[in-house]
Amino acid sequence: MQLTRRQFVKGGVAAFTVTFAAPEFLSDLARAQGAHARNLVVLYLSGGNDALSMLIPYNDPSYYSRRPTIAVPAGQVLQIGSDSSHVSLGLHPRLTGLKQIFDQGRLALVQRTGYDNQSRSHFLGTDIWSTADPNNSQGLGWVGRYLDSLPSPVDPLIGWNTTSSLPHVLQAAHTGVPAIGNPSAYSFNSPNSGTEATAERASALRISSHVPVDRPELAFVYGTSRDALATLDRVADVAQYAPSTAYPNTAFGLALRAVAGAMAKGIGTKIFFVTTGGFDTHSAQNPNGTTGAYYGLMATLNDGLLAFYADLKNQGLLEDTLVVSFSEFGRRITENGSRGTDHGAASVMFVMGGRVSGGLYGTAPNLNADPNNPTLENSAGDVRFETDFRSVYAQIIDNWLGANSAAILGGNFRKAPLTFI
Amino acid sequence: MADEVATQMPHGATDRQIEHLLRRAGFGARPDELAYYAQMSISQAVDTLVNYTDVVDDVDSLIGQAGYVGTTTRGVFSPQSNISDSRQRWLFRMVHTDRPLQEKMTLFWHNHFATGYSKIAGSLGASEGARYLAAKPSEDPGQVRGQIEMLRASALGNFRDILLSIAKDTAMLVWLDGRTNTKLKPQENFAREVMELFTIGVGHYTEPDVYAGARVFTGWNLGRPGTALDGSLRYQFAYDAGQHETTAKTFSFAIYPDGNRTIPSRSAADGMQDGIDLITALAAHPNTGRYLAGKLWRFFVSEFRDPDPAFVDRIASVYQQNQYEMRPVIHEVLRSPQFWDPSSSWARYAWPVEFVVRALKEVGWNGFSVDSALAPLTNMGQTLFEPPNVAGWETGQSWFATGAMLARMNFASTLTANQKFNLARAVKNAGVSSNPDSMLSYFLDRIATAPLDSGVPAELASYLRATGPWSGADAQLQNKSAGLVHLLAGSPEYQFC
C-alpha cells in the first residue's frame, strides 16, 4: 500500500475502518520510523533504591560503623574492582547475573547521580527524575518530549508501557504510549459472537476515529481508545512470543519477557518502560538473609535482567538494546532504629546493553561522618551527587537515540567523562 | 453568606442536575435513587446527602439477599479477614447504600490516607491485613475497627480527629513504619507524609521539620494486648514512653496559637502530647484548609479547570471557622456556585470504581456478582485497599492508558453479556422494541454520558441496522441491546462523571 503522508493524515481513519487495525500498513509506518533501530528500556526502581546496598564500598570502615545491622559483609560482596578514586567496590551478593554482564563489559554503573538540593519526597523526587527538571516537575516527561520530537505521524505503538497507568517519564504532549501489562489480556471483547461481534467491533473502531472539536479532555480519551484498538493485532502477535530463555515468574520478569517479545516480533516499538518496586526500605531492610527484603529486591532485579539479557543475545537483539535505570533518591547512610534506611539523596544509575562500554563511572562517596566531607551532604547524613542525572540522560539522547539532548533537556548537560555509549 | 451562595444554586432541580449531584456526591443514581431525589429541590437534595446520619445504615444486611448485586465467596463471606471479600463488601455498599455521600467520602479519605494491603499482609499475614483495613468491631473477636471502617464512621467528621485516628491506626502504623519509630533511631516515614500528603503539602515544610516530626512521634508504636486463644489478640496503638525522645522540637511553622514554634521538652511519661500538639498544629495550619480545598475541587467540582481561588478561599475559611469539621466544608462544596456551574458538568475523569459502580446502577445488577469486577478494576488501575503508594492513585488522564481503556470496554462487555436478558426485557417493557431508533433513544436516556460527539448517535443507529432487518425478536433485542449498551458504556463519553 502506497500512501503519501498527507493521504495518511486524511485517510488514516478510513484505512483503519477497512481492516480494523490494518497491521501491514502500520508496520510500513513502523519500518519508516526504524523498527529495527535502537530500543531504549527505561527501568524505574520504585521507592528510592539504597545504592549503598547495591554497589558496596566494602573497604570503607564508616560503611560498617554506620550500618551495624544492615551492612553487607566484605567477604560476601561480588568484587568488581576499583573506581578512579581507588575505592574498591562490590555488587550485592545476589547480583550474580549483573556481575557476569559487568564482566562482559556490558554494564556501566554511574555512581553518585542526582542533583543539587535533592528532594527526599517520593513524589516530587519521581517527578523530577521523570521530567529531568528540578524547577518544574509538573511538565512533560523527558522521554515524552523525545517522542514528541519525532516526525509525525508517530506510530501508536512507538512506545510500550508495561504498567497499568502512564508513568510521568512517558507523558508527552501529543504522543500516546499504550499500557500493555499482559499482551494476552490486551483484547477487545464483545457480549456477542459471530457477525454481531464483528459489527460491534467495526462500530467501535468507527466511533473511535472521531476527533472531538474544542473538547480536549474528551479528545484525549478518544485518542486512547483509538490507539488501543489500532494496536490490538500487533500486540496479539507479541502474546505468541516464545522466548529463548526462561523468565522468572515475577511481574518484572514477565514485563521484560513482553518487551523482548515486542522486539523479537519487530512490531516497531522503540521505547519501553518497566518497573520493579519495594525499594522504600524504611524497616527490616535486611540485604543479607535469603528471605531479607533487600535481598529479595536484588533477586527480582537480577533474575529478570539476566533472563532478558540472555534472551536478547540469543535473538541477536542485544546490540539494538539499551536499558537505563533510575530511582527517585538514594537512602540515608546511617541505618535507622527499624533496621532500615530513610530517604536520602544521590544514588547509582546503571546502563546495560550490547553496545555499552561497561565499567565504573564517577567516584564512590567517602562515608566518614565528618560534616565537612565533600562527598556527603545534610550534615554528612546523605550522599552528595557528583554526576547530574541529566548528564546520563544526555548521553543516551545524543549517542543512543540520535536526538539533541540540549533541546530535549532544555540545556547542555553533556559531561565528557561519561562515555558509556 | 450562605444565603448569597444559595441564591446562585439552581432552583427547581432537573433530572440532569440531580444526576450531576449524585455522580459527584455518590456513584451515580439507581432508578429508585433518581426517583427519590427528583422530588426534592437542589438545596433539599444536598442537605439530605450531607445529613446522612438521618438515614438508617443497614446496607450490609442486604448482602446476599435477592434483588441486589451478588457477591461470590469461597467458603464463608468474611470481609473482616479476607481482602477479596472486603473489596466486594465495599463495592456492594457503593451500589446499594442509601448514604452515597458517606461512601464517596470514605473513598476520598482512602485515597487521601492511601494505605496498601500488601505491606500490612506482608508484615502481619493475609487475614490480619484484611482485618486492620476492613473489619467492623461487631464482627471481630477483638473488636478491631479496621482503617476503612474508621474513615467511614468519620467520613464527615472533624479533620483533626481523623488525623489523630490515622496516626494511631494499626494499618497506618505498619504502612508508614510508625511502629518502629524509636528514641535512638527516629523513623521519618510517617512524619514526612503527614506533612507532605495529609495536611500542608510540599513547599510548606522543611527537611528539618521532617526530622523534628520523626522525633515527635517516637514511641507511637504498636502493642498487642488481649487474651490469646479466643481470637481477641490484636495489635493496637500503644504509646511506649521508654521509646520517646524527650528533647524540645522546633519547627519552621507555628505549633501553638501564640505562634510558638517549639514543642517543649517533656517527661517521657507526658511525651505523647508532642504528637497531639503537632497534629493539632497541622490541622490548624493555614495551608491545610487550602490543600484540602484543592483536593476537594478536583474530586467534587472539576478536573478541567484549576481550582478557582474564590472557591479555595471560601472552603478554607469554612474549614477554619468550623474548627476543621468536614460536614460544613462538604456542604459548602456541594452548594458552591462553581459546583453548579455548567462548565463543571461531566468535568471529572471517572475513577475506575466510579465507572464500575455507575455502570452497575445504570445497566443493571441482577444476576451479576461484584466479584466479577475485581480483576477488571485491577486492569483499569484501581484495586481497592491497594493504592500504588501513599500519595494515592494517579487520577485524571493517568487513568486512561490504552490497556486500562480496554479494561473499561471489556468490563462493559462482561456486564452487558450478563445483563442481555434484563436489557431486552426492559426494552420490551418500555415499548421501544418496534424499531431501532426508539430503542436507541431509550438507552441514550438511560445510560448517561457526557454529550456525545456529533455523529456518534448516527454510528450507533447504523450499528443497530448493521446485521440485517429489524425484527424485534427476542434474540435480536438481546444481542442489539447488549451490543449497544456495550458501545455506550465503553465510549469515551461514558468515562466522565
B168-200 tens-digit pLDDT = 999 999 999 999 899 988 889 999 999 999 999
Work out the widest C-alpha separation in chain B, in whole angstroms. 86
Give residues 312 to 341 of A whose Cβ lies within 8 Å of B: 335-338, 340
Confidence (pLDDT) at B6: 44
Query: Nearest Cα to A142, choosing from A410, A356, A323?
Result: A410
Query: Minimum mean pLDDT among A359-373, A392-406, B213-227: which range?
Result: B213-227
Name the closest residue on chain A to residue B421, using Cα atoms: A191
Nearest to B492 among A164, A166, A225 (CB): A225
Report the share of chain A in percent with pLDDT over 90.
Answer: 79
Nearest to B413 among A189, A338, A378 (CB): A189
Q: What average pLDDT does the segment A228-252 reach? A: 94
**A293 has a pLDDT exceeding 50:** yes
Q: What are phi and psi of A208, to 5 degrees?
A: -70, -15
Confidence (pLDDT) at B228: 55
Q: Is B41 helix (H, G, I), strand (E, B) or coil?
A: coil
Question: Do residues A159 and A147 lie in contact, with contact meaning Cβ atoms separated by under 8 Å?
Answer: yes
What single letter denotes the amino acid at residue B309? Answer: P
Prior bond of B309 cis (ω within 30°): no
**A227 has a pLDDT exceeding 60:** yes
Note whether A165 contacts B398, CB cutoff 8 Å.
yes
Q: Is A221 helix (H, G, I), strand (E, B) or coil?
A: helix
CA–CA distance, B118 with B121 (Å, rounded to integer): 5
Lookup result for grid cell 439477599:
B65
**A20 has a pLDDT exceeding 50:** no
Q: Which residues of A touch B187 (CB under 8 A)?
A: 282-283, 336-338, 340, 342
Work out the widest C-alpha separation in chain A, in whole angstroms. 76
Note whether B380 contacts A164, CB cutoff 8 Å.
yes
Tell me which DSSP letter residue A295 carries: H
Residues A294-325: pLDDT tens digits? Answer: 999 999 999 999 999 999 999 999 999 999 99
Confidence (pLDDT) at B452: 97
| CB atoms closer than 10 angstroms to residue A189 | 18
CA–CA distance, A324 with A110 (Å, rounded to integer): 11
Q: What average pLDDT does the segment A138-151 reach? A: 93
Lookup result for grid cell 565528557:
A416
Confidence (pLDDT) at A181: 83
**A14 has a pLDDT exceeding 80:** no
Confidence (pLDDT) at A19: 30
Q: What average pLDDT does the segment B10-27 reach? A: 86
Confidence (pLDDT) at B13: 65
Helix or strand holding residue A348 (H, E) = strand A347-353
| H-helix segments, A33-141 | 51-54, 61-66, 96-103, 122-131
**B488 has a pLDDT exceeding 80:** yes
Note whether B400 contacts A220, CB cutoff 8 Å.
yes
Using 50, 70 and 90 to split pLDDT, how confident is the model at A172?
A: confident
Domain ranges of chain A: 38-188+237-409
Question: Do residues A332 and A369 lie in contact, with contact meaning Cβ atoms separated by under 8 Å?
Answer: no
Name the closest residue on chain B to residue A119, using Cα atoms: B207
**Architecture of the domain made up of A38-188+237-409:** 3-Layer(aba) Sandwich (3.40)
Residues B290-323: pLDDT tens digits? Answer: 999 999 999 999 999 999 999 999 999 999 999 9
CA–CA distance, B362 with A261 (Å, rounded to integer): 40
Confidence (pLDDT) at B422: 97
B261-288 per-residue burial string, b: 16 or more CB within 10 A, e: under 16: eebeebebeebbbbbebbbbbbbbbebb
DSSP E strands, B60-196: none
CA–CA distance, B90 with B94 (Å, rounded to integer): 6
**B5 has a pLDDT exceeding 80:** no
Residues B31-60: pLDDT tens digits? Answer: 999 999 999 999 999 999 999 999 999 999
Name the closest residue on chain A to residue B348, using Cα atoms: A217
Question: Do residues B481 and B439 lie in contact, with contact meaning Cβ atoms separated by under 8 Å?
Answer: yes
**A386 has a pLDDT exceeding 60:** yes
CA–CA distance, B18 with A69 (Å, rounded to integer): 60
Q: What average pLDDT does the segment B274-286 reach? A: 98
Q: What average pLDDT does the segment B96-119 reach? A: 97
CA–CA distance, A272 with A44 (Å, rounded to integer): 11
Lookup result for grid cell 528533647:
B247
CA–CA distance, A259 with A274 (Å, rounded to integer): 9
Give the CA distances from residue A62 to residues A234, A337, B393, in Å, rounded to whole numbers and listed in that order: 53, 18, 39
C-alpha cell at A140: 512533560
Q: Which residues of A touch B410 (CB under 8 A)?
A: 187-189
Using 50, 70 and 90 to split pLDDT, how confident is the model at A18?
A: very low
CA–CA distance, A305 with A162 (Å, rounded to integer): 15
Mutate to test the interface with A, among B112, B406, B453 (most CBs of A within 10 A): B406
Q: What average pLDDT does the segment A265-274 reach? A: 95
Tell me which DSSP letter residue A385 carries: P
For A309, left (φ over 0), alpha (ψ -120 to 50), or beta?
alpha
**A15 has a pLDDT exceeding 80:** no
Residues linked to residue B236 through DSSP beta bridges, in sequence order: B223
Give residues 196 to 225 of A whose Cβ lies within 8 Å of B: 196, 199-200, 202-204, 206-208, 210, 212, 215, 217-218, 220-222, 224-225
Q: Does B483 touch chain A (CB under 8 A)?
A: yes
CA–CA distance, A57 with A51 (Å, rounded to integer): 10
Using 50, 70 and 90 to split pLDDT, how confident is the model at B230?
A: low
Domain ranges of chain B: 2-288, 352-495
Arithmetic mean of pLDDT over chain B: 94
Note whether A227 contacts B402, CB cutoff 8 Å.
yes
Name the closest residue on chain B to residue A231, using Cα atoms: B402
CA–CA distance, B205 with B224 (Å, rounded to integer): 34
**B286 has a pLDDT exceeding 80:** yes
| H-helix segments, A92-215 | 96-103, 122-131, 142-148, 194-208
CA–CA distance, B331 with B315 (Å, rounded to integer): 10
DSSP E strands, B368-467: none
| H-helix segments, A104-141 | 122-131
Q: What average pLDDT does the segment A199-205 reach? A: 96
CA–CA distance, B368 with B351 (Å, rounded to integer): 21
Residues linked to residue B464 through DSSP beta bridges, in sequence order: none
Nearest to A337 among B180, B349, B495 (CB): B180
CA–CA distance, B477 with B420 (Å, rounded to integer): 8
Nearest to A207 among B480, B482, B491 (CB): B491
Q: Is B287 helix (H, G, I), strand (E, B) or coil?
A: helix
Tell me which DSSP letter residue A153 carries: S
Question: Do residues A48 and A344 lie in contact, with contact meaning Cβ atoms separated by under 8 Å?
Answer: yes
Nearest to A218 among B303, B480, B492 (CB): B492
Residues B414-448: pLDDT tens digits? Answer: 999 999 999 999 999 999 999 999 999 999 999 99
Name the closest residue on chain A to residue B452, using Cα atoms: A212
Give residues 169 to 188 of B whose Cβ lies within 8 Å of A: 176-177, 180-188
Note whether B398 contacts A166, CB cutoff 8 Å.
yes
Q: Does B403 touch chain A (CB under 8 A)?
A: yes
Arithmetic mean of pLDDT over chain A: 89
Give the CA distances from residue A224 to residues A77, A237, B52, B149, B413, in Å, rounded to whole numbers and listed in that order: 47, 20, 38, 36, 18
Nearest to A165 among B176, B186, B394 (CB): B394
